[in-house]
Structure 1
Amino acid sequence: MSLSDGGDTAEWKTDPFDARRYDPNDPDPWLALYLDHSLPIDPQAKRALLLGARSWSRRWLFPVSRPVVFLFFCIVKVLRAISPRYPNLNGLLHKSIHWGLRTFGSPECNTLILRHFHVGTELLAFLKANAGVDPALVKTVPLKPLTLKDLEDNVFLQHDLNIFNFIIELNMALRAAGKEITPPERVDFSMLSDIEPDFETFPTGPLNRIDIQTAVEFYTPLYALMLPRADFMRASHSLQLDEIVGIYIGRILGTDYHMHFVKNGHPLVTLSTLQAGFRLMMHGLDCEAMHGWLRVLKARQEAGLPLDPRDPTGGPELA
């Protein structure tokens, strides 16, 4: 079918990421990023992220509102210095997140947020299965919400608890056994999926226009206001644990290639909580990239290929 055929023309003209829209005299930066494969990110996640990046809310509401949000964040930090424990409104926080996303979040924003908990759950399950310790010694709560209502079940706070408890319990088990994480005889990828769950149909009302980065920017100071200071600090510091998770994955795989995807900084040098909004976006990107790379390696293993494309011998994981 030629581009002049009506139905096909209408389809590609309404799709901002159709390669047939390419004009060498006016190349679209978002099309370039969509077609780029330097990061092994799931196509659904990349599309949702880029639709948000090119949206009205990200281009206008985000930069205009940032000074106001920053000022509010500074006021919250002063209040939390005075009263670090109270108020503790965790239940109200999760209900407000649900309400805000259902009322204002775009379908792409809501897709990325629910996906993130599935990605995090599978990454921890991968580490748990391949770290060489008794899995019973490392406890996590699987988080795989399918609806925005599911977020009310303490999902955000539990997400932070999961990663810190995982690191503590894993390293306690390794130290007790006098072991380090080393490549297993065969890497277990069985827990990794393409993450295409049956999410609810997200609202598409006239107000559902807020992209994920703008939503994160607005909710970060609310998170600090409605949680005790210790809970917010733990949540903020958890965003820098991507590098630790990446190192663990590297020890399992025997390759550090995926570390090129991790850009959030090692938590031994902590960053300001005022940067938490941007680092939360980077955290989501890091996790999607690591998860995507592991799925690539899973496919290579199933095809009988070496996990590391640079290793022509195959290695012990194919034994």
Structure 2
Amino acid sequence: MVNKYENYKHDYNNPNIQLAIYLDNSIPFNKKAKSAFLFDSSRLSNRVLLPFVKVIARAFRFLVIGFKAIFPNLLNMPKFLHWQLYIGQKYFLTPEANYLIMRHFNIGSEILQFISDNVNVKLSSVESIKPKKLNEIKNNVYLNHDLNLFNFIIELNQKLKKEKRKIEKIDLSKINFSSVSLDEFKFEKFPNKITNKIDLATAIEIFSPIFQLYLRNDDHDRAVSSLQFDETIGIYAATILGVPEKLVLVNNRHPMISLSPIKSGFRLLLHGLSTEVLFGLLQDLKKLQKES
């Protein structure tokens, strides 16, 4: 995937917004992922289609909420849901959107493993979810991604409570970064045909009400609540690293106060941003540890 901003020509009379964000290094962020996100956000579908999709998708969301209030578990079709997600990603999403989605699952697994390694707790209920091909999406990847998070938090804290321990700061020289990849993830080439024009933000708005429709209420509630657990995971990592000031980059608020699912599409983008920033921080500190 070509970095669209690395050699972008700057026009002083008409400076490019995406170029300014790309060149800004105030937050740790993988350059390839940052370029993909910014280029994807500047696509025609994001500028023209997204505003209309938001209105239609949120209206449909209210209908789904009403249906689910009456029949909370009538539809429980995770396999069919993931088949739809796979078809959508394969035939309609841009290569950049697919790259960011697949990358998110991989770095999410590595972040959880990093915390587990440095708290010195082995967790039996958490699996490594690191898909490299789009057809792996059909293996309930989205649903299992959320299950992983909650199983991780519950089992981790149960074991810490049993052992009368808590998460503590570790000196940089002793931190275990073995689970954090410095090399780029190698994915199967993503489709780039005439129909692959839907950007990530638009796709999320389309998929969100469909996600709620085909899952049990408990599964959907976990999916929505998991976005607010950014702060929980951020606190764990910041405690280990001794950098509490980095929590300012977490924007989804603590899960004690649950938020409405109506704007979960936007919060899912924030979730992706927070995850990328945390992973970028881990990569930077791993490099610093190697150099020292």
TM range (shorter): over 0.9
Local SS of the residue matching 1:290 = helix
Separation in 2 of the partners of 1:18 and 1:153? 36
Q: Return the alpha-carbon distance in structure 2 between the equivalents of residues 192 and 116 of structure 1.
A: 13
Q: Provide the identity percentage.
A: 39
Instruction: Tell me the distance in 2 between the aligned counterparts of 1:150 and 1:282.
Output: 24
Task: Establish whether residue 60 from structure 1 lines up as the match of residue 54 from structure 2.
Answer: no
- 1:217 alignment counterpart: 205
TM-score w.r.t. the length of structure 1 is: 0.88
The CA deviation at 1:145 is: 0.5
Q: Deviations over 1:176-212 (max 9, x none)?
A: 1111111235110111003522211111111101111
Shift in alpha-carbon separation, 1:75–1:246, aligned structure 2, 3 A: same
Is the 2:8–2:19 contact (alpha carbons within 8 Å) kept by the matching residues of 1?
no
CA contact (8 A) 2:228 2:255 kept: yes
1:85 has 2:73 as partner: yes
Deviations 1:78-99 (A, max 9, x none): 0000110111111000000000
- State the secondary structure of the residue aligned to 2:243: coil
Q: How far apart are the structure 2 equivalents of 1:120 and 1:216?
A: 18
Q: 1:162 Cα deviation (Å)? A: 0.4
In structure 2, stretches of 5+ residues that fail to align are none
Contact 1:128 1:138 in 2 (8 A): no
CA deviation after TM superposition for structure 1 residue 20, in Å: 5.0
Report the residue type matching 1:290 in the other structure.
Answer: L
Distance across 1 between alignment mates of 2:243 and 2:188: 38
Separation in 2 of the partners of 1:39 and 1:15? 19
- CA positional deviation for 1:121: 0.3
Residue 59 (structure 2) aligned to one of 31, 55, 71: 71
Say whether 1:32 aligns with 2:32: no
TM-score (norm 2): 0.96
Matched residue type, 2:237: I
Q: What root-mean-square deviation, in Å, do the aligned CA atoms of Structure 1 and Structure 2 show?
A: 1.4
- Aligned residue for 1:316? none
Q: Do residues 278 (structure 1) and 266 (structure 2) align? A: yes
Q: Does 1:202 align with 2:186?
A: no
CA distance in 2, matches of 1:241, 1:214: 23
Q: Which has the larger radius of gyration?
A: 1
User: How many pairs align?
Assistant: 289
The answer to whether the 8 Å contact 2:98/2:190 transfers is yes
Which residue of the other structure, out of 129, 148, 156, is the alignment partner of 2:117?
129
Aligned to 1:156: 142
Q: CA deviation at 1:264?
A: 1.1
- Checking the alignment, whether the CA contact within 8 Å between 1:40 and 1:289 is kept in structure 2 is yes
- Tell me, in whole angstroms, the C-alpha distance in 2 between the residues paired with 1:25 and 1:140: 52
The CA deviation string for residues 254-288 of structure 1, in whole angstroms up to 9 with x for no partner, is 22132122111111111101111111110011000
- Kept in 2, the 8 Å contact 1:49–1:108? The answer is yes
Deviations along 1:77-134, whole A, 9 cap, x unmatched?
A: 00000110111111000000000110100000000000000010000000000114x3
Q: Structure 2 counterpart of 1:259, which letter?
A: L
Partner of 1:10: none
Question: Which amino acid letter does the alignment assign opposite residue 72 of structure 2?
Answer: P
User: 2-side partners of 1:52 and 1:238: how far apart?
Assistant: 24
C-alpha separation in 1, matches of 2:153 and 2:185: 27
| Distance in 2 of aligned mates of 1:57 and 1:303 | 43
Which of 229, 241, 244 is the equivalent residue of 1:256? 244
Structure 1 counterpart of 2:157: 171
Contact 1:138–1:166 under 8 Å retained in 2: no
Q: Which secondary structure does the structure 1 equivalent of 2:194 belong to? A: coil
Q: 2: CA distance between counterparts of 1:300 and 1:249?
A: 17
Aligned counterpart in structure 2 of residue 110 of structure 1, from 95, 98, 103 = 98
How far 1:23 moved relative to its partner? 1.3
